[in-house]
Amino acid sequence: MRYILRKLITLLVTLFLISLLAFLAFAIIPGDPAVTLLGVNATPEAILALRQEMGLDRPVFVRYVEWLGDMIFGDMGRSFAHGHSVRELLGDRLIVTGSLMGLSFVMMLGIALPVGLLTAGRQRGIVHWMVTIINQMMMAVPPLFLGLMLTFVFGAVFRVFTPSAFVSFRESVGGYLFYMLFPALAIALPKSAMMVRLIRSSVREEMGKDYVRTAVSRGCAPRGVLYRHVLPNIAAPVITFSALTLIMMITDSIVVEQVFSIPGAGRILISAIGTRDYPVVQALVLVIAALVMTLHALADVLCRLVDRRITL
């Protein structure tokens, strides 16, 4: 319990530091948001008025405290480019990206766990080589290219789905999930190859240890040893890897959203970066940072719960 509390405090302190960085970085860069918004031909009076309205005339520190306070209560400010509140702008998009990541993650586990566990006992022979070769190839395929290929194969050759005809989950949940199947697959496949590789190499390493030899020489069936003794011991690295993968899936979904024209958080991040729409970028940085830090912390806690050898 004390451990979890300590973790939580570190998490909050880190997030606070990140928020400070995210705010200051965008506050000190050259270029006046008011000028960007009104264009270079705007009259000085108009710019001055807008600066006042946006609160840009006050000290950075005051603005930071205000911004952070608003953020904590869910008010993410106003987008420069769209004029909407950032929260309105991000709401549905965060759900889209979140569900894309979730779907990819479930898919990855659905592929990697069966394949990894069923082939873990076979560390030589034909199965071993087949799995190793397919894995090595699959790992080298970036989701962005896999996405293009899936679009071509399932969108143009087999015509299973209509590319770039995104269905919002507000219209039809089934249609939405069906459309998301393909981008999720593009993210999940390379990651499941990595996970299969991790499971197999962890099992191989663990199988060479003394306790396994003891168990086998006492007469336990090798298969039983694998499932009862070895697998619980490789749970910790697999959990850590899962958390890292989920974090890497953030970048993957940004890219894949672009491939499948999915209106998610990644797309708005890219367009906000392009138009220098800082309130949107800042808000997303904070949301992503919170997600990343939480996942790291969660993985640590889970590992300690699953693997008793790691002391609390």
Partner 1 sequence: MRRRNVTLLVGASLTTMLLLIVVIGQLLWHFGPTELNPGRLLGPSAVHPLGTDHLGRDVFARVLDGAGTTLLVALGTVLIGAVGGLLVGAVTGYYGGWLDEIVMRISDGLTAFPSILLALVVVSITGSGMGNLVLILGVLFIPSFARVARGEFRRLKSLDYVKRARVSGASNGRMMLVHILPNAMPVFLSTVAIGFNNAVLAEASMSFLGLGVQQPQVSLGRMLTDSQAHLFTAPWIAVSTGVTIVLLVFAFSMLADGLQAGRRG
- Ranges of beta strands (E only) in 91-241 are none
Which positions lie near partner 1, rule CB under 8 A? 14, 17, 22, 25-26, 29, 136-137, 139-142, 144-145, 148-149, 151-152, 155-156, 163, 247-248, 250-251, 254-255, 258-259, 269-270, 272-274, 276, 278, 281, 285, 288-289, 292-293, 296
Least distance in angstroms from the C-beta of 281 to partner 1: 5
Least distance in angstroms from the C-beta of 220 to partner 1: 29
How far, rounded to the nearest angstrom, does the alpha carbon of residue 24 sit from its chain's CA centroid?
25
How large is the C-alpha radius of gyration of the chain?
A: 24
Using the minimum distance from each CB to partner 1, give the nearer residue, 146 or 226.
146
Using the minimum distance from each CB to partner 1, give the nearer residue, 151 or 215.
151
Q: Which of 267, 282, 203, 205 is nearest to 235 (CA)?
A: 203
Residues paired with 78 in a beta bridge: 85
Using the minimum distance from each CB to partner 1, give the nearer residue, 78 or 276.
276
Q: H/E element holding 120?
A: none
Using the minimum distance from each CB to partner 1, give the nearer residue, 34 or 215.
34
Backbone phi and psi for residue 206, each to the nearest 5 degrees, phi listed first: -70, -35
Least distance in angstroms from the C-beta of 152 to partner 1: 5
Least distance in angstroms from the C-beta of 71 to partner 1: 17
Question: Torsion angle of alpha carbons 261, 265, 266, 271, nearest 10°?
Answer: 80
Residues paired with 85 in a beta bridge: 78
Using the minimum distance from each CB to partner 1, give the nearer residue, 248 or 303.
248
Q: How far apart are CA 2 and CA 13, in angstroms?
A: 17
Using the minimum distance from each CB to partner 1, give the nearer residue, 30 or 44.
30
CB-based contacts of 134, cutoff 8 Å, min separation 6: 193
Least distance in angstroms from the C-beta of 226 to partner 1: 23
Mapped onto helix, strand or coil, the DSSP state of residue 222 is helix
**Residue 128 carries which side chain, given as an amino acid letter?**
H
Least distance in angstroms from the C-beta of 45 to partner 1: 29
Using the minimum distance from each CB to partner 1, give the nearer residue, 136 or 168.
136
Q: How far apart are CA 239 and CA 242, in angstroms?
A: 5
Q: Which of 79, 101, 85, 263 is nearest to 171 (CA)?
A: 263
Handedness of CA 27, 94, 149, 157 (dihedral sign): negative
Least distance in angstroms from the C-beta of 173 to partner 1: 28
